[in-house]
Amino acid sequence: MNKLLKTKNSKLIIALAITTILLTACGGKKEESLTDLKTKQAELKTQLAEISTQISKLEGDSGKKFVLVEAAPIVPTSFKTYINVQGRVDAEESVSLASEMPGTITKINVKVGDEVSKGQVLAETDARALQQSISDLQTNSELVNQLYEKQKNLWDQKIGTEVQYLQAKTQKESMEKKMATLQEQVRMSKVISPINGTVDAIDIKLGQLTAPGMPAIRVINFTNLKLKADLAESYASKVHKGDEVLIKFPDTNDSLIAKVNYVSRAINAMSRTFNVEILLDNKKEYHPNQIAIMNINDYVSVKPTLSMPLNYVQKDLKGNHFVLVANNNKAEKRLVILGKEYNGRVEIKEGLSESDLLITSGYDGLNEGDAIKIKQ
């Protein structure tokens, strides 16, 4: 506004100057010769030319009516959309072990962080009474076995009765079952790892009383971890095994790209969700129950396509979507057909080409046909 007033004032001053020059020229003495008049005429023409030049400089571009905008070409790229969901790290093999028999802890054979193998005894409870029973039974078992063998030899020679043979056989089998029962009770008094893994926690101490169901030792196989997430039922037809997943761990500021390993086909009746699993390698350190942000790719354009920020797209009174492009220093309206939207960008199916210059700034209030000037 100040610049415009300054320009108008300058024009007024110049116009007054011109008027003064003309009045001065006309007010000269009549007795001036023709030669003097011609000389003054030439001087006036020179002064008018200078004044005209000054007016052009003052006006500059202010006399032109255009809108200053920014424009840029659109480069075709592969357009992808993702489903954002929160997942958690889960250990496929994670067990919390407890003694199967009540008793006092007499041995703890491992410490936290130890690598253990399947079948390894991790802790033991007091089983002295069971061991004594087995020792006594072992003595009786030897006698019963000898009696059985002798009775069997006699029966094979058709000596004695069948009842005697069957009684000896029954006593032998009964003794074997009692022995097996006691040995199983001894086994149940020990805490044994059912998997290969790492001791993650020990919740017992020497001399402590324990019972079935009381947590004793936790073992986790950290080489077999996976990510699990529950997705809404509406995504059931969009997520498939093999889809790309962008994973970010907020706590460790770590990220990786993986593939969907498993998609549950059953919908949970209560939560109306289905389960998705992604396998993790053991090259990095992950923690069971660790939170992860998963972006599951559910759409990829068949070929490179045009896309742009969604705020560049406008809607006319008829409900048609359009954008403004620069064409011969004028704004041109182009109707477009939109595709998928994701993260503030939209896919353009029809209406634009690579050769178009999209107006990216200054399009607010701009109408089709308005004169424009593109910032360099």
DSSP 316: -
Q: What is the pLDDT of residues 255-272, one digit of tens each?
A: 999 999 999 999 999 999
Confidence of residue 57 (pLDDT cuts 50, 70, 90): low
Written as one string, the DSSP assignment of 203-255 is: ---TT-EE-TTS--EEEE-TTSEEEEEEEEGGGTTT--TT-EEEEEETTTTEE
**11-15 average pLDDT score:** 50
d(CA 197, CA 120): 11
**Host domain of residue 16:** 2-59
Confidence of residue 3 (pLDDT cuts 50, 70, 90): very low
* Same-domain check for residues 360 and 320: yes
Residue 33 domain-assigned (yes or no): yes
**34-41 average pLDDT score:** 74
Confidence of residue 6 (pLDDT cuts 50, 70, 90): very low
The CATH number that applies at residue 326 is 2.40.420.20
**40-50 average pLDDT score:** 75
Q: Give the CA count within 13 Å in the CB-facing half-sphere of 274.
A: 15
Identify the residue whose tokens are 């070409």.
Answer: 73
The alpha carbon of 48 is separated from its chain's Cα centroid by a whole number of angstroms, namely: 72
Of the candidates 155, 188, 221, which is a domain's last residue?
188
Residue 63 clears pLDDT 60, i.e. is over it: no
d(CA 67, CA 194): 76
Do 310 and 326 form a contact (C-beta atoms < 8 A)? no
Residue 107 domain-assigned (yes or no): no
Q: Which amino acid is at 44?
A: L
Residue 138 domain-assigned (yes or no): yes
Residue 280 clears pLDDT 60, i.e. is over it: yes
* Same-domain check for residues 11 and 74: no
* Same-domain check for residues 325 and 369: yes
User: What pLDDT sits at residue 48?
Assistant: 76
Residue 149 domain-assigned (yes or no): yes
Residue 169 domain-assigned (yes or no): yes
DSSP 311: G
For the record, the structure tokens of 282 come out as: 């053991």
User: What pLDDT sits at residue 348?
Assistant: 94
* Same-domain check for residues 312 and 366: yes
* Same-domain check for residues 36 and 71: no
Number of domains in the chain: 3
User: Angle at CA 260, nearest 5°, toward 256 and 266?
Assistant: 145
Q: What is the pLDDT of residues 160-201, one digit of tens each?
A: 777 887 888 888 888 888 888 888 888 888 899 999 999 999
Q: What is the pLDDT of residues 198-238, one digit of tens each?
A: 999 999 999 888 888 889 999 998 888 999 999 999 999 99
* Same-domain check for residues 323 and 358: yes
